[in-house]
Amino acid sequence: MTLLQHLFRTLAAALVPALFAGSAFACDPETEDCVEIGKWELSLGVGAGVRTNPLEATPDIPLLLIPQVNYNGERFFIQNLDFGFILWENETQQFNLLATPSYDQVYFHRWSPSNFFIDSNGFATSGKGNNDDDDLPVIDAGGDKEFIVPGFKDVQERKLRNRRMAGLGGFEYSVTTALVDLQLQYVTDFTGIHEGDEVRLALAKNWASGRHSISASIGAIWQSSEVVNYYYGVTQAEADMRGAYHTDAALTPVARLDWNYQLTERWDLRFLANYRQLPDEISASPLINDNKVITVFIGGVYHF
């Protein structure tokens, strides 16, 4: 167990009794700028969407119902699958203790919670390419791209070990400026699933005009070799003729666009697009047949 993992478990144990403590309001509810404490915000998106699945011979993930859950206490907050405790804050900055699930298991498990709560992160071949692929069969992938399909067992025919969802805990720092909002997270596996670490950085810009609101962000996610190899590595027992696969830490660029239009007091229109560019360390895995993940959803959102 790393020092950070031990520190997070100690802090969590000390703070859990205080998470739900506090009064009902952080200020006088009669004042104009009062923020109500202890209020749950629930909404459900209904529409059509998809998350592409980069796993070889694995179908994309449909997105039809998108729930959203938010809760704000004096110190404790919930944002879908993220749980946080505010350690320090001022008018523009915030430093939090954070617990959140891992993301990468979504490709291996259709019913992973992260395939429902989606608001909580060009190599065409499987494995590192070479110049000896002329005799391999080719399939049409649509558009102007073709995927080379080696004559080996695909993911569905192999006995793969279970890639489980890990619990990640650590710290989050955010700052709001006149130009952009910055968010930095450092989290580590406290459940002992892969015992890896992640660093997440995002820059976001928000606009609002009338009934329209737009949020755009770019960022990157660094994952240690323990994380990458747990989900995308191939052990000797799982390997086919291509052999086992082991790699280094990886850095994944991400971008996101979220547009909302308020129809009524309870209904919004929403369009969401998220793009992940898979780095070499992931896209070169024999399990992977694409170098990107695209998430798109469009539909209505009902606020309860």
pLDDT at 261 over 50: yes
- Written as six digits, the tokens of 149 are 């399909």
Domain count of the chain? 1
Sorted by sequence, the CB contacts under 8 Å of residue 67 that are 6+ apart come out as 42, 43, 44, 45, 80, 116, 117
Cβ atoms 275, 54 nearer than 8 A: no
pTM of the predicted structure, to 2 decimals: 0.78
State pLDDT tens for residues 36-66. 678 899 999 999 999 999 999 899 999 999 9
Supply the range of the domain harboring residue 44.
3-303
* CATH of residue 51: 2.40.230
Query: What are the tens digits of pLDDT across the range 85-102?
Result: 999 999 999 999 999 999
Over range 218-227, report the average pLDDT.
98
